Each structure stands twice: as structure tokens, then as C-alpha cells.
A and B are shown apart, each in its own frame.
Chain A
């Protein structure tokens, strides 16, 4: 995205801009980021400091400690939850990418009859929310004998990943000049060779966008993981932090926030590497 269209911004003077732009923008940033700051601060506080607002300013850490993180990593199944979440997210992402690349290529390039209708159906599939699917899916998962197995998540996550990835990739394939494929066809390449050697290499930015987005969506998924998994050691991070770290009426806020912070880190790290891909796929998916 360019900075070209900034309206008539250049006419605005500095002091005026300070009040109309910078101050509200700063307020937005503080409010949007505060919960993460609070999460981080809480993670590294000791318990005595955490609940004593009289002697310590709660907005600052006076004696940082790793106790909460240590307790989380060595006294709970947290590493196991991370591993499960990672496995489910990666496998579901690859399955979805595979299915989406083929589907998007077929709809966008093979131009079969009814292709546009199929494209519309896939768009509509994205609008079906998990909240109305989880009950029938739970009965299916039970019948297939997949209850309490991560396979249930690997099979159900593609239902919201494939529509999104296909939609995104259709846009990418559309932007690749068709002439390139025609040349290859004339030279005697098969369709599969064209997809593998010409279209896919050119669509790599799209594949990365779809992949990291699918990974993020899988990592953040909650309701299926809550409904289909019951064993403590097989839970995903978002579910486990909420259901396993809250014991009765006593909330160990230190370890809870440590769990939230550590659970957010993987997506935050990936995000920091691929910011532009996120922004372009987010806005691209809406604009298409």
C-alpha cells in the first residue's frame, strides 16, 4: 500500500495536527496495546507484589521474577499443549493449502462449467460460523470414534481454512498473466506441469499469505477444541489455559497471564515477520 493518497493532509498545520491526529492516535495505541502490557507486567511479578497495590505501583514491575513462567513450563502440561497446538495448526494448514491451491486453480484457470457457482459456494462456506456447526460436528466426531483425538481438529479446521485460502488464492491466480500459461500449453506442457512449474512459483507470496493466515486461524481456534477434546494432555493452548489453569475460585493470575503471554508469542512472532502478508491478505480478501 502506498502513502500517495493522503487527501489534503499537506494543508494541515502542525499544532492543529497535534490535536486532531497525534493525540487521538496515541490514545488509540495505548488502549489497543494496554492489555498486552498488563499481561506482560503481571507475568513477571511475584505474588506479593501482584496483589499489593498499596506498596507497589501496579503499572510497574519492582522485582521481576520468572517464577510464573517456570511454574507454567515445569509444573503443568504447558509444553505438551504447545506441541499439540503446533501440530494441529501445521497439519491443518498444509491440508487446507493443498486443497485450496487445487480448487482455486481449477476455478480460476480451468474455467469449467459451473466454476463461478462453485466459487460463490466457497465464499458462502466462509460465512458459516463454527458456533452453529460444533454440535452436529460433535456427534459426528463421536460416531467416527475421533472424540478426544487431535485428528478431529485436523479434519474440522479445514472447514473454515479452505474457504478463506481458496478465496485468497483465486485472487492471486487471477493476477498472474494467463499468457504465461498459454505459452507453456503451446510448448506441450501438461496442465499439471504448468501449475507446478509456472503458476505456483509465481503465486508464492499468495501461498505464504494463505499459509500464515491459516496457521493463525488454527492456532486461535477455540470452540471445536473445547468441544471435541477432553483429556488434559491433549488440549490446545487457548482451551487449556482457560480450563486447566483456573482452579476453583482461586485464580493464579500470574501463571494465567504467563500462559496467555506464551500462547500469544508464536503467532506474534510469525506476525512480526510477515506483517505485509497479513495486511495484504486481510484487505485483499475483503476487497475481492
Chain B
């Protein structure tokens, strides 16, 4: 029987409808929804990142081999690594590789960024061309370098001979020091674009009026660079450098593709040595110990990044520009 009561009830029902069933109501609770939304990412990261990180540390204390689960052996892996010249050579190589390559990348990358910060024709095009070495798979460009470093058919040696600068072909990968320098050169080559484009973005946020004011006060171009460009660039420089150091320190592809640690294991980095011992060598426990030995260095780089960022209050979600 249609009446006013029915109309009111129908109206109530209509208003209440957005809440609907308890499923819809639960889904509209931000806390529940946030939990559900975080679930896929959190599950994947916990299972395939956090857990293996812990497992790796545990494996470093065991004598696990491929196909045989190991037992806890305490610090034995680390003790044997401590007396292992190959390991210390890898540590030295890694530190030298990281330091020299980082200095090279940032000196040249900053220079390139400053060049690109000029008024140039076809600037967007040049910028996009410059990023190509960074886009292409590292292993594939490393292969090109391997071919460029060929002892017999190196195009660099050929060009230098033609110019009359050398009379013997350079043995790029044949001696330990040559091989190390060649690897560092390839790493710098690959790192320049990333550094340059990131720093260029930083340079473009610096107001030109600062430079004009400094110039009016009689500052030389070096003083303008030293007292305006560098300080203004510092926050972004710190972040980019942290990333760069982190990825250079744990580099694997370039070495594996060009020298595979050779000649005679003298160019191994910690990552390639860990791989060598763990996968082809089968000593998973020892490989894990080498990988774990990289963590202190990485923590140092991360803390550096954290404090550089913390100053900019990004965690509060506020804008910092």
C-alpha cells in the first residue's frame, strides 16, 4: 500500500545505497582500502626482496652448495675470505673502480651539463641523443666495447697508428692495469649521460638573476660557478652521486661482458667474484658472504643519500622548491 511511510523508507534506502553491502562499505574505509592497496606491492617486495636479503646474510654463515643445503659454520666463510688474496684484490678493484669512475663520470657529466645549459639550436634533440648510451642494454654496448678493445682489430689502435701516435697495437684487455683502465673508461662512457641529464635538470632550476647579480658585482665566471652553480646544485648532485656510487660499486654486467674478471682474475669486482664462486663454482655460501661484504659500503652510501635528502624535508610530503 503506497503511503508516506513507504516513500520515506524508499528515500532512506536510496540515500544509504552508496554504502550498499558490507563489502562496499568495508572497501570505502580508507584504512582497509590502504591495506588492500598495499598488499600486492608489499607481498612481492617482502617475498622477493626482504626475505632474500635476510636469506643471503644467513647463507653467508653456511657452507651451502648448489644442490646441497648447508649447515651453519659461523664465520668460517669470512675467515677464509680474509686470507684470500683474490677477495682482497676484488675489494681493491671495486673501490678503485668506483672512485675513479665516479670522479670521471661527474667531472665529464658536469661539463656536458654545463655545455647543454647554453642556448643551443636543436637542444632537445641533442639531449635525447645523449641519453642513448644509457637506454641501450649495458651488456650489448659492453660487447661493442669488447670489439673496440680487440687486440688485433681495435679501431682505437688503428686510428692512433694512422695518426702516427703509436707504433704497436694497444693490448687493452691483456694486462691487468690496461684491462682495469679499459673497464673504467667503458663505465664512465655509460654513466656520463645519466649524470649530465640529471645535473642539467638541476642547472635549469637556478635562476639567471643570481648570475646577473654576481656579474654586476664583478664575479669572474669561475667565481660564479664556485659560489652559485655548485652550492645550488649540491642537493641534486648528492642524490645523483649516491645512485651512481651504488650502481658502480655493485656493477656486474660490464665486467662480466668485457673481461669476465680476466686476465687471470685480476679485474674481478666483488659482484663478479661472488657470481663466479656461487654459480659456476657452486659455492653458494661463500658467494653470499662476498655479496654480504658489499653491504657496509652500500649502507654508507644510503645514509649519505638519506641525510642529503632529509635536509629537504621530502618525507613530510611537502614541496621543497
Is A bound to B? yes
Interface residues of A (CB under 8 A from B): 1-10, 12, 17, 21, 24-25, 28-29, 31-33, 35-36, 38-39, 42, 50-51, 53, 58-59, 95, 98-100, 102-103, 105-108, 110-113, 115-116, 118-120, 122, 124-125, 127-140, 155-156, 158-159, 162-163, 166, 174, 188, 190-192, 216, 219-220, 222-223, 226-227, 237-239, 241-242, 251, 253, 256-257, 259-261, 263-264, 267-268, 271-272, 275, 278-279, 282-283, 286-288
For A39, what are the chain B residues with a Cβ–Cβ distance below 8 Å? 143-144, 147
Known contacts A35-B148, A58-B158; decide if A136 and B55 are in contact (CB<8 Å). Answer: yes
Within 8 A of A (CB), among B45-71: 45, 48-49, 51-53, 55-56, 59, 64
Count CB-based A-B contacts (< 8 Å): 325
For A12, what are the chain B residues with a Cβ–Cβ distance below 8 Å? 118
For B215, what are the chain A residues with a Cβ–Cβ distance below 8 Å? 8
For B38, what are the chain A residues with a Cβ–Cβ distance below 8 Å? 102-103, 106-107, 118
Is the beta-carbon distance between A166 and B41 smaller than 8 angstroms?
yes
The interface stretch among B97-105, B171-179, B312-320 is B312-320
For A130, what are the chain B residues with a Cβ–Cβ distance below 8 Å? 250, 252
B115 contacts the other chain (Cβ, under 8 Å)?
Answer: yes
What is the size, in residues, of chain B's interface with A at 8 Å between Cβ atoms? 113
Is the beta-carbon distance between B140 and A263 smaller than 8 angstroms?
yes
For B287, what are the chain A residues with a Cβ–Cβ distance below 8 Å? 135
For A216, what are the chain B residues with a Cβ–Cβ distance below 8 Å? 135
Select B291's contact among A1, A132, A260, A282, beta carbons within 8 Å.
A132
Within 8 A of A (CB), among B116-171: 116-120, 123-124, 126-133, 135-141, 143-145, 147-148, 150, 153, 155, 158
Bound-state CA distance A129–B244 (Å) is 12
B75 contacts the other chain (Cβ, under 8 Å)?
Answer: no
Is the beta-carbon distance between A190 and B48 smaller than 8 angstroms?
no
> Smallest distance from the beta carbon of A198 to chain B beta carbons, Å?
15
Bound-state CA distance A53–B153 (Å) is 8
Bound-state CA distance A155–B18 (Å) is 37
Is the beta-carbon distance between A271 and B126 smaller than 8 angstroms?
no
Is the beta-carbon distance between B144 and A257 smaller than 8 angstroms?
yes
Is the beta-carbon distance between B274 and A135 smaller than 8 angstroms?
yes
Is the beta-carbon distance between A128 and B55 smaller than 8 angstroms?
no
For A100, what are the chain B residues with a Cβ–Cβ distance below 8 Å? 41
Is the beta-carbon distance between B208 and A279 smaller than 8 angstroms?
no
- A-B contact sample (20 more), CB < 8 A, given A9-B119, A28-B130, A132-B291: A5-B205, A5-B208, A24-B111, A25-B115, A31-B189, A32-B192, A99-B41, A102-B40, A103-B37, A106-B38, A110-B37, A119-B315, A125-B49, A128-B49, A129-B247, A136-B288, A188-B18, A191-B27, A223-B253, A257-B143
Is the beta-carbon distance between B129 and A33 smaller than 8 angstroms?
yes
For A253, what are the chain B residues with a Cβ–Cβ distance below 8 Å? 147, 150, 153
Is the beta-carbon distance between B115 and A24 smaller than 8 angstroms?
yes
For B305, what are the chain A residues with a Cβ–Cβ distance below 8 Å? 127
For A163, what are the chain B residues with a Cβ–Cβ distance below 8 Å? 45
B201 contacts the other chain (Cβ, under 8 Å)?
Answer: yes
> Smallest distance from the beta carbon of B189 to chain A beta carbons, Å?
7
> Smallest distance from the beta carbon of B56 to chain A beta carbons, Å?
4
Is the beta-carbon distance between A132 and B30 smaller than 8 angstroms?
no
Is the beta-carbon distance between B33 and A155 smaller than 8 angstroms?
no
29 residue pairs A–B, Cβ–Cβ below 8 Å = A6-B119, A9-B118, A25-B120, A29-B129, A31-B189, A33-B132, A38-B144, A39-B144, A58-B158, A102-B40, A103-B38, A103-B42, A127-B246, A132-B53, A135-B56, A136-B55, A139-B64, A140-B55, A159-B45, A220-B137, A220-B138, A222-B139, A223-B253, A226-B256, A227-B275, A227-B279, A241-B139, A286-B236, A287-B202
Within 8 A of A (CB), among B79-116: 108, 111-112, 115-116
For A166, what are the chain B residues with a Cβ–Cβ distance below 8 Å? 41
